Amino acid sequence: MIDYQIKHKKNPISNLFPFTLKFLFVLFIIFTSPLFAKVSLVASISDIKYIAEQIAGERADVYGMIRGVDDPHFVMTRPDFLVKLSEADVLCVVGLDLEVGWVPYLQQQSRNMKIQKGQPGYCDTSFGVKILGEPTVMMDRSMGDMHIYGNPHYWNDPINAIQMAQNIKNALTRVDPLNGEYYEGNFNAFKKRLIQVTKEEMKKMEPYFGLKVAVFHDQFVYLASRFKFNANLTIEERPGVPPSVRYMDQVISYMIAEKIKIILIGPYHNPKYAEYVSSKVPGSVVVTLPVSVGALDTTSYEDALRMSLQKIRDASDKSK
């Protein structure tokens, strides 16, 4: 009797194994289901990366190909770009031919059909944005780095950033419909945030409405249009082509005549041309704006917007 009880006594540790295996199997099924599988999203510029992170939250791994201090017109491609694109579910770009010199080549070489134009994973964030600077005459490359579809620097207007966020949300929902409500909720929160920031900054800019500034490259037209200052005078004679002394002298004369004391440049532009012009215009200053998230130590779209406008206000105050 004693031997029988010892022989058939239940082992409490061994009894855990069936339960543990079942538990692990359930976890495997849950976390490998489409609801929990992460989307892979690749963004061409840092601003799109930031916006995508706000919309995707924990449901996607977001990779940005270039930094905020890099010039999106001219990018040296790297092997890791191809690796990321070959595995991507979504590719988000500025469009309007801004990345024409590098993104199309990478798309083709990635051999990933999901992110080609016309496919669910391709996201042109310019869709639905009111584009400024559309050409009214025929253009060719002899005229410089011209954009035949209009000015592509639209992300500097926060209302356009909301439209970009909606386009990204739609792309994520196309490839991951089970998490559509999650993306929608994040989009609504981001939209509310940007509307509030826009209202706050518009109020601060009211005393500066109508302010005239010069720019090196025509990249601040959307920021100027939204916050009601004038940024139509460019030091570049032709986009992407160094200006001649003769042309810069014309700019100098115009700035003096119109009492323009501020020159705006991006962090990736050679400042020597703006500094030359400024040296000939008494009391003028060259102001570098962040342009994109990550430049000048900015960590968010909101930070970059606030910093840009504050720098303009500070420069205006000092030039009076």
Give the model confidence (pLDDT) of 140-197 as tens digits: 545 445 568 999 999 999 999 999 999 999 999 999 999 999 999 999 999 999 999 9
| Whether 249 and 315 share a structural domain | yes
| Whether 25 and 70 share a structural domain | no
Q: What is the pLDDT of residue 2?
A: 47
What mean pLDDT comes out for the span 91-114? 97
| Whether 187 and 213 share a structural domain | no
| Whether 234 and 130 share a structural domain | no
- The answer to whether residues 302 and 277 touch, using CB atoms and an 8 Å cutoff, is no
| Whether 44 and 175 share a structural domain | yes
Q: What is the pLDDT of residue 125?
A: 98
| Whether 149 and 101 share a structural domain | yes
Q: How far is CA 273 from the centre of its chain?
A: 26
Q: CATH number for the domain including 220?
A: 3.40.50.1980
| Whether 187 and 159 share a structural domain | yes
| Whether 12 and 100 share a structural domain | no
Least confident of 12-16, 224-228, 271-275, 315-319: 12-16
Measured CA to CA, the distance from residue 218 to residue 300 in angstroms comes to 23
Please tell me the total count of domains within the chain. 3
pLDDT band at 240 (very low <50, low <70, confident <90, very high): confident
Find the domain containing 15 and state its range. Answer: 2-31
| Whether 141 and 288 share a structural domain | no
What mean pLDDT comes out for the span 115-133? 97
Residue 241 is classified by DSSP as B
| Whether 161 and 294 share a structural domain | no
Least confident of 8-17, 223-232, 253-262: 8-17
Sheet holding 39-43, edge to edge: 60-64, 39-43, 90-93, 122-124
Beta strands in 148-278 (DSSP E): 212-215, 230-234, 262-265
DSSP helix/strand/coil, 210:
coil
What are the tens digits of pLDDT across the range 43-84? 999 999 999 999 999 999 999 999 999 999 999 999 999 999
> Amino acid identity of 56?
A
- The answer to whether residues 86 and 111 touch, using CB atoms and an 8 Å cutoff, is yes
Burial of 94 (0-12, 13-18, 19+ CB in 10 A): buried
